[in-house]
Structure 1
Amino acid sequence: MPDFLYERRCAKTPVCGVDEAGRGPLAGPVVAAAVFFPDRKRRPRGLNDSKVLSHEQRETLYARIRESAVVGVGMCDHREIDQLNIYHATMTAMARAVSALPERAAFALIDGNARPAMLSCACETIIGGDGKSVSIAAASIIAKVTRDRIMIEMDAVYPGYGFASHKGYGCPSHKAALTKLGPTPIHRRSFAPVRIAEEGQQAAFAFGKAI
């Protein structure tokens, strides 16, 4: 289970954990969160990598983290992802999350092996950090719940794609909807399945006009 081992090793405080959600989906933003606990004794019980928690557990922990921690959220939408590429958009979202903290962090623990170039403080990368650091685990939950809620809202705006269930990931039902309906405005055109679906829709439209 995650603990404060990495946070305690840091000479500088406060130390925030940083993680993201939404690198892989075909639609919607990539969302990052930065979290630190001013009083580590008040951390919620059960914090862990968001991927191993149920929806109900994440929602409960989200509320408890918000009550006990300092939180910053940053994101890049589908347009920025297409402009920057998903790697640089993710790094930008992480830097924005740290900058959005109401209290400035002195050091950041970053999940993964990449350091955001625009980060406003020194940092350390930790592969699998969301399962090792309490702060990163908390950030993974904030990022995941925030993004899921956005995609549930988008499901009502763009019905027929199933955003509320798959959150934009490229599952078979989502790809089938893309082929049938074409991309929505929030789809990432730089991702191959979206680009192929859009080209197919354009070709079908051109064929229809020609006959």
Structure 2
Amino acid sequence: MSNGPNFDLELAHPGPVAGVDEAGRGPLAGPVVAAAVILDRARIPAGIDDSKKLGEKARTRLCAEIREVALVGVGIATVEEIDTINILWASMLAMERAVAALGQAPGMILVDGNRCPRWAHPSQAIVGGDARSLSIAAASIIAKQTRDAMMLDYDRDHPGYGWASNKGYGSRQHLDALGRLGPTPLHRRSFAPVAQYFLPL
């Protein structure tokens, strides 16, 4: 028996079920990105798994396949929003935007984590949901691929921080560059390693 995600949680609900996950809560720079995915029960791409367990080649392939056969919405919360309302609520905001971008109200939303946004949708928070639900795992792939692509673009605009490889996380290269070059407008000034370079908000 496979230990990967399955469709059992989705099949417990009638009508369209969306899986929601986010990427980018921990980095020092860049937005937080959420995705919502409603899979077609008759056309689920093979190999969907928690994005953290997949290599880049597999994620790229699956991202394209999911977008081809599923209903996908993406939501973004900016660095300014992260610094204003904190990363938790910015993540919730990105999730709300991802569901709104679906263009269809799901009958149920399965959210990775231990809480759901403050919305009117029927929803269930599932800890470790990206390892249990195929819809959440699909959303984790879309969210990560979308954010990674954004960080590649930002790396070209702000060279030296290593964002093409570290995606904004606090790697040694990133921290060294932060001390040498200073912060960019894409750095989260509310995050401790960055905050020292700014006057208090």
Q: Which has the higher helix share?
A: 1
Amino acid at match of 2:116: R
Letter in structure 2 aligned against 1:26:
L
Mapped partners of 1:70, 1:137: distance in 2: 14
Unaligned runs of 5+ in 2: none
- Residue aligning to 2:33: 31
Identical columns (%):
56
Residue 2 in 1 paired to residue 5 in 2?
yes
Q: How far does the alpha carbon of each residue in 1:28-82 deviate from its partner, in whole angstroms, 9 at most, with x for none? A: 0000000011x31211100000000001110000000000100000010100000
1:115-126 aligned at under 5 Å gives the runs 115-117=116-118, 119-126=119-126
Deviation of the 1:102 alpha carbon: 2.5
Alpha-carbon shift at residue 126 of structure 1 (Å): 0.6
When Rg is computed on C-alpha atoms for both structures, the one with the higher figure is: 1
3-state SS, counterpart of residue 42 of structure 2? helix
Q: Which residue of 2 aligns with 1:60?
A: 61
* 4+ long deviations beyond 6 Å: none
Q: Distance in 2 between matches of 1:171 and 1:197?
A: 17
Partner SS state of residue 160, structure 1: coil
Aligned partners of 2:196 and 2:15: how far apart in 1? Answer: 48
Report the AA paired with residue 33 of structure 2.
V
Deviations 1:65-117 (A, max 9, x none): 00010000001010000001000000111111111102221210000101101
Q: Give the length in aligned residue pairs.
A: 196
CA contact (8 A) 1:71 1:102 kept: no
TM-score by length of 2: 0.95
Deviation of 1:196 (Å):
1.6
**What displacement does 1:145 show?**
0.1
Partner Cα distance (2:78, 2:58) in 1: 26
